[in-house]
Amino acid sequence: MPVVLLTDAFFFALIALTALYAFYVSRRPHLQAAWRKLARDRSAMVSLTVIAFYFAVALLDSLHFRPLIETAETAQGGEAVYSNEVVSVFDRLVSPLGERFEKTYSAPLAVRGYVKEMVEEDGVRRHIYPRLQYGGAALAEPDLAAADIARRAAVWGLAGLLACAALLALVCAVVAGPRRAPAAMRAVVRNATGGLPLRAVAVTIALIVVAVFITAGIGREYHLLGTDKIGGDVLYQALKSVRTGFLIGTLTTLIMLPFALALGVCAGYFLGWVDDVIQYLYTTLNSIPGVLLVAAMVLMLQLYMDQHGDRFNDLVTRADTRLLFLCAILGITSWTGLCRLLRAETLKVREMDYIDAARALGVARPLILLRHVLPNVMHIVVITVALDFSGLVLAEAVLSYVNIGVDPAMHSWGNMINSARLEMAREPAVWWPLLAAMVFLFGLVLCANLFADGVRNAFDPRSEWNRS
């Protein structure tokens, strides 16, 4: 039974808006020129490829459903019975990771526990590191783990390379035709693709595919990034946190844009008392510390959910509502910067000759704003959205670290970092949950920043790239 959560609905709406923007760009030659400039930026295209991988994980994790419970009645064609548990397509694809729990901590790729226990072997009680229930369970001897891991990495890495070669041949055959596919493949390998960094993108895709294959091959038999205090797989938690980080960065933008666009353009065009009111509004909002405002709103939501427990009796619903509410709070508090930039740009645009001509011809003000002002300030919107994405992802980690972010039951990098505070104080220290969260967070934020730099260079008319 398909289940659409609130955040899923907004996420799909954002995808639809992106498709509409792509259609809009296809009808605007000046925007196509800017995106073609961006397509020639090697670092931006490599970063976009990595972001696309994160996006694919978030999309698969946003397709939720309730699984069918197999009973004797359903087997005989009776009424279908569905589980109360809400799972995603991503959970099914990586099902061994989320379903295997050890007793407690275990190090990455370990076959024994991280904490000594009293274990009875052959009638003798010993204080040893016990064998894990799932990590390396197929091995007869724990000493064979290193050789088995190396063999799996080699076999699955080779399979990933073959899959990449087949994928490249298929893409070249579809784009260039079956007869010209070998020549197209040689052009990609030699980087003779007319300035497009297709070789760098192909290498990035190959690395991602090989990493996925190796992770799948080893992760089915071992805990690749270890386990946490309750024995949960850390790799599974880090991958599940991708959806949370991606939603924070995108849904907040979706909520922020209407406020910034409407108020910024109106303030810069109408001036007078309209400009004064809008400036007073965002100046007042900027004077309130953002963390305190977020904390107050989250505590109010928590109190409301506690008082209306019948509406939020499901853990998934509670966590999803809190995530959407957090996106709304961050959106309401983060539109002021873009609004100020749009106001300044609109002040310049309103003095252009084509705006004066439209006024002289009697064009209505709303039509002037929609057809003449708004398209000429969209480059500010594109640049700001790209730059703010990484900041919003980091904001979730910081807020969850101080316990005012997403629900503790939801997987997020902020919750993983928050839990690692006590784990790092152990002796010996449990370092792998913190490292896993930091690596995944660093990868998304770094690629988002590099892509944002490329967007700024391509769309900003004052950049040195556009001058040249």
Lowest mean pLDDT among 67-71, 84-88, 218-222, 335-339: 67-71
The torsion region of residue 73 among left (phi > 0), alpha (psi -120 to 50) and beta comes to alpha
Q: How far apart are CA 102 and CA 133, in angstroms?
A: 6
pLDDT tens figures, 196-217: 888 888 889 999 999 999 998 8
Neighbouring CB atoms inside 10 A of 449's CB total 16
Give the pLDDT score at 209: 92
CA distance 76 to 85: 23
- Superfamily of domain covering 234-467: MetI-like (1.10.3720.10)
Q: What is the pLDDT of residue 56?
A: 92
Cis check: omega of the bond before 178, within 30 degrees of 0: no
| Strands across the sheet containing 2-3 | 2-3, 64-65, 87-88
Distance CA 62, CA 332 (A): 24
Rounded to the nearest 10 degrees, how much is the dihedral formed by the CA atoms of 152, 153, 155, 158?
A: 170
Rounded-to-integer distance, Cα 432 and Cα 103, Å: 17
Domain boundaries, the chain: 139-219, 234-467
Question: What value does the mean pLDDT take over residues 416-437?
Answer: 83
Q: Which residues neighbour 424 within 8 Å (Cβ) at sequence distance 6 or greater?
A: 430, 431, 434
Q: Which among 228, 168, 211, 179 has a CA at the least distance from the CA of 50?
A: 211
Q: Which of 467, 464, 454, 465 is nearest to 197 (CA)?
A: 454
Residues 401/417, Cβ–Cβ less than 8 Å: yes
461 pLDDT tier (thresholds 50, 70, 90): low
pLDDT of amino acid 71: 64
Most confidently predicted of 71-80, 182-191, 437-446, 450-459: 437-446
Give the N- to C-terminal CA distance of the chain in Å, as an integer: 56
pLDDT surpassing 60 at residue 468: no
pLDDT band at 466 (very low <50, low <70, confident <90, very high): low
Which segments within 112-246 are labelled E, that is strand?
A: 117-121, 124-128
Query: Which is more confident, 329 or 290?
Result: 329
Instruction: Say what the pLDDT of residue 27 is.
Output: 85
Q: pLDDT over 90 for what percent of the chain?
A: 8
What band does 314 get if pLDDT is binned at 50, 70 and 90? confident
Q: Is the pTM of this model over 0.75?
A: yes
Determine the Cα–Cα distance for residues 233 and 335; give it in Å rounded to an integer. Answer: 38
Task: State the Cα–Cα distance between residues 307 and 315, nearest whole angstrom.
Answer: 15
Residue 95 is predicted with a pLDDT of 82
Residue 406 structure tokens:
């997403």
pLDDT grade, residue 74 (50/70/90)? low
What is the predicted pLDDT for the residue at 251? 85
Find the range with the poorest average confidence among 17-26, 116-125, 209-218, 332-341. 116-125
Q: What is the predicted pLDDT for the residue at 51?
A: 92
Secondary structure (3-state) at 227? strand
| CA R_g for the chain | 26
